[in-house]
């Protein structure tokens, strides 16, 4: 656990140093805001053995900046998801909310019309699931910190740009009650039972991917139509959970230059 946390802190510290150029420098910033709507599928065996599905909403705010004379760029993103889902009978409902902050660094590669970014993200997630039918243990917390290799491929064609991004978890740490353990035992009685669990791509085989088509309206403004597929899974402490998100995105992309000191 200490090794995982040290690696993540080292990544954040190293990226912070890399992101600070010495003296005045020109920086090109790309800012994106997107809203998405679609279907969300939820399973959490701590709350129920049933699978739930229903409409969901995603909000994405992204900022990326890079010096024209450098191959490295810095990436920040805020992602908020919410959903109201019900089981197959329509008698039980769950509410889901999740916020994730992404911080990463990418190395840029260019081959003709292809622009490729490869790097890593640190992702911190906080959220909850709430089952409206449960009187005992009605809610489940979602807390995790992950290190994720990431790649972005963009194909440029006249005023269009077609972009694909994929993020996969490598290692991290997550909070989870143990099988049969209540939150009362954890927080009121202080009974710890392996509630901070190291995760890997085996116990948490997640995948986050985005496919988008951008149309450049002007030098600074671009319109975006895309798809977000966010597949979060975890199997720890005898409990299984997944949240599958399939959302259509609409957004705007703006680019501008500024002097950074």
CB 129 within 8 A of CB 138: no
Evaluate if residue 256 carries a pLDDT over 60.
yes
What pLDDT score does 230 carry?
A: 96
pLDDT in tens, 174-230: 999 999 888 888 887 778 888 999 999 999 999 999 999 999 998 889 999 999 999
68 pLDDT band (50/70/90 cuts)?
Answer: confident
Backbone angles phi, psi at 12, to 5 degrees: -65, -45
What tokens appear for 68 in the block? 């024209």
What tokens appear for 126 in the block? 């906080």
Give the separation between CA 44 and CA 51, rounded to whole angstroms.
Answer: 8
Of the chain, the percentage scoring pLDDT greater than 70 comes to: 89
Q: Tokens 């671009």 label which residue?
A: 222
CB 98 within 8 A of CB 243: yes
Find the range with the poorest average confidence among 58-67, 120-129, 133-142, 222-231: 133-142
Give the separation between CA 178 and CA 73, rounded to whole angstroms.
Answer: 40
What pLDDT score does 31 carry?
A: 94
Cα–Cα nearest to 39, from 79, 84, 90, 80: 84
pLDDT in tens, 3-59: 444 444 444 444 443 344 444 567 889 999 999 999 999 999 999 999 999 999 999
258 pLDDT band (50/70/90 cuts)?
Answer: low
Q: What is the pLDDT of the chain when averaged over all its residues?
A: 88
Find the range with the poorest average confidence among 116-125, 140-149, 161-170, 189-198: 189-198
Give the separation between CA 151 and CA 116, rounded to whole angstroms.
Answer: 7
Q: Tokens 């005992």 label which residue?
A: 136
Span 126-131, average pLDDT: 96
Span 164-179, average pLDDT: 94
What pLDDT score does 22 carry?
A: 44
Give the separation between CA 110 and CA 117, rounded to whole angstroms.
Answer: 9
96 pLDDT band (50/70/90 cuts)?
Answer: very high
261 pLDDT band (50/70/90 cuts)?
Answer: low
């Amino acid at each position: 656990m200490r090794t995982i946390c040290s690696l993540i802190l080292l990544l954040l510290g190293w990226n912070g140093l890399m992101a600070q150029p010495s003296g005045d420098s020109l920086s090109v910033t790309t800012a994106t805001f997107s809203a998405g709507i679609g279907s969300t599928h939820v399973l959490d065996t701590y709350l129920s053995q049933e699978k739930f599905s229903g409409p969901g909403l995603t909000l994405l705010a992204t900022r990326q900046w890079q010096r024209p004379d450098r191959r490295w760029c810095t990436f920040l993103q805020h992602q908020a998801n919410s959903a109201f889902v019900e089981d197959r009978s329509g008698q039980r409902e769950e509410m889901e909310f999740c916020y994730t902050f992404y911080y990463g660094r990418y190395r840029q590669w260019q081959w003709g019309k292809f622009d490729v970014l490869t790097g890593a993200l640190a992702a911190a997630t906080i959220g909850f699931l709430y089952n409206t039918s449960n009187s005992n243990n009605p809610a489940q917390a979602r807390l995790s910190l992950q290190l994720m290799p990431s790649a972005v491929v963009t194909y440029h064609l006249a005023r269009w740009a077609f972009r694909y991004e994929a993020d996969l978890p490598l290692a991290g740490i997550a909070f989870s009650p143990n099988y049969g353990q209540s939150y009362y035992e954890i927080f009121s009685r202080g009974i710890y039972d392996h509630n901070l669990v190291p995760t890997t791509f085996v116990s948490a085989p997640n995948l986050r991917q985005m496919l988008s088509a951008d149309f450049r309206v002007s030098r600074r403004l671009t319109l975006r139509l895309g798809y977000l597929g966010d597949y979060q899974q975890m199997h720890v402490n005898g409990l299984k959970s997944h949240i599958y998100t399939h959302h259509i995105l609409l957004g705007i992309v703006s680019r501008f230059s500024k002097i950074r000191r």
